Amino acid sequence: MASARLFFTCLITCSMFLLTFPCFAANQKVTLSLYYDTLSISCATFIVKNLAKIFDDNLITIFNLRLVPWGDVYANKSNNSTAFCQHRPDQCKLNSLQSCAIDVMHDVNKHFALIYYIEFLAIEGRQKEWETCFRSLGLPKKHILDCYNCSNATKLEQNYGNEIMHLNPPLEFVPWLVLNNQPTGNDYENFAGYVCKAYKCKIVSMT
């Protein structure tokens, strides 16, 4: 019953959007990837005010959410372990911390909660207080900090950077949302409608 209600809610929402996404295999969830800069106000605002709603209305149950903290970071071609960040050094630190959180805490509910809290602080200019997020959420930080303090964080960031370099069409700005390999472009705030329409398409393909 819950799935039926969710489907019809999506069906109503999607009727407001004209963009058509191709149908995908019925045994796969819709995949939404968010490429973002941890200290970009537009990215932080989108995460806190828009993306967080998917956990309130249970929309998260119909798609896989991938968070890719990278943004305006440029690798030194002569030294792949070095990165230059637009908001450095805080941006590089938070990129690595959030990358480690995603890698260590596989549960999207947990790592999104931490990222949400950090981005909320970023909006208020209090990103240096990021350690308070662990205490407030009751999340252990040891494994995340272990990842951050070793080469794992660098490898994760390099993998994200390589992924972004090979996006087709290429990333133009952040936040940059890609739904089943199709970017939403400037209409990223209306991502829920695109997700629902893609999900409806999958359901139709089952009939």
Tokens at residue 132, please? 């308070």
* CATH H-level, domain 2-206: superfamily: Glutaredoxin (3.40.30.10)
Angle at alpha carbon of residue 189, lines to 4 and 94, rounded to 5°: 110
- List, in sequence order, every beta strand (DSSP E) within the chain: 30-36, 63-69, 73-76, 79-85, 176-179, 182-183
- The rounded mean pLDDT for the chain is 81
Confidence (pTM): 0.80
Each residue of 113-168: pLDDT tens digit?
A: 999 999 999 999 999 999 999 999 999 999 999 999 988 888 998 899 899 999 99
